[in-house]
């Protein structure tokens, strides 16, 4: 019939509904994959660095998701009428997830991260310069922009109302600040240091270096030392 809306398409694998005639709708559908992508990033960083700070942030992220699951079933507010999916919509889990991530990133970079400049005396040219406050602020703003765009996309795709997205964002902020405070208390009281000395933490080689140095710093210094010893990395000539 004339005037009927165009049929929606389902983004492969995720089944996120979007309007195939609308490029913005497709872009929003890809933004819906951000939480899954961030989980992959979390898991990769935890496995590759064994940094307890990253692991604790991920634990907070999962706790925030559990809170969202409980709130949805407590409030039981339906999604917009135009939505073709299932489940409750208050608060928005996507908005809550990405807001927790962006606020946690900003709090770490601007409050907890205290990097020191490391210089290898055997290789003066290899001075390691950590991110400046301005650079960390820029990353924080970029993270907040990505979170805001993802949250907006949920309204554009009719998965949530503005009220549901705002509720998710506010819950994400409160959860991130609360979790950051809990981890800070664990650090201040020595419980985190104690935990890192337990057999299971030692078995998994957990460490707590990222607060004071960039993740690549220690590995880079080892590489520079080896490079200098081998002749500054210059190819041998006959």
For residue 16, give both structure tokens. Answer: 């996120």
What pLDDT shows up at residue 151?
93
What pLDDT shows up at residue 123?
44
Q: Please tell me which residue, 88 or 143, carries the higher pLDDT value.
A: 143
Burial degree of 219 (CB within 10 A; 0-12, 13-18, 19+): exposed
| DSSP codes joined into one string, 92-156 | -HHHHHHHHHHHHHHHIIIII-----B--TT-GGG-B-PPPHHHHHHHHHHHHHHHHHHHHHHHH
| DSSP codes joined into one string, 179-209 | HHHHHHHHHHHTHHHHHHTSHHHHHTT-B--
Radius of gyration of the chain from Cα atoms? Answer: 23
Please compute the mean of the pLDDT values over residues 47-59 and round it to a whole number.
Answer: 91
Q: Is the separation of the CB atoms in 176 and 107 below 8 Å?
A: yes
Average pLDDT, the chain: 82
What pLDDT shows up at residue 125?
47
Residue 236 has pLDDT above 90, yes or no: no
Long-range contacts from 189-197, C-beta under 8 angstroms, 24+ separation: 192/52, 195/52, 196/52
What pLDDT shows up at residue 3?
55
pLDDT in tens, 93-127: 999 999 999 999 999 999 888 876 654 444 444 55
Chain-centre distance of CA 40, in angstroms?
10
User: What's the predicted TM-score (pTM) here?
Assistant: 0.82
Locate the domains of the chain by residue range: 9-115+130-220
């Amino acid at each position: 019939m004339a005037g009927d809306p165009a049929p929606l398409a389902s983004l492969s694998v995720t089944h996120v509904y979007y309007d195939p005639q609308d490029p913005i709708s497709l872009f929003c559908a890809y933004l819906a994959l951000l939480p899954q992508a961030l989980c992959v990033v979390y898991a990769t960083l935890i496995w590759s660095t064994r940094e307890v700070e990253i692991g604790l942030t991920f634990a907070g992220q999962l706790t925030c998701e559990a809170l969202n699951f409980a709130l949805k079933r407590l409030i039981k507010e339906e999604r917009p009428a135009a939505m073709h999916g299932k489940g409750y919509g208050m608060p928005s889990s996507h908005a809550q997830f990405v807001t927790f991530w962006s606020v946690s990133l900003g709090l770490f970079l601007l409050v907890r991260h205290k990097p020191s400049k490391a210089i290898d005396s055997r290789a003066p040219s290899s001075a390691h310069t950590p991110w400046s406050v301005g650079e960390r602020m820029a990353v924080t703003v970029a993270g907040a922009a990505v979170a805001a765009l993802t949250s907006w996309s949920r309204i554009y795709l009719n998965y949530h109302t503005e009220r549901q997205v705002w509720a998710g964002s506010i819950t994400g902020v409160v959860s991130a600040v609360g979790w950051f405070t809990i981890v800070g208390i664990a650090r201040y009281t020595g419980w985190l240091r104690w935990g890192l000395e337990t057999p299971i933490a030692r078995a998994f080689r957990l460490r707590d270096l990222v607060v004071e140095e960039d993740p690549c710093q220690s590995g880079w210094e080892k590489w520079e030392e080896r490079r200098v010893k081998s002749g500054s990395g210059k190819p041998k000539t006959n």
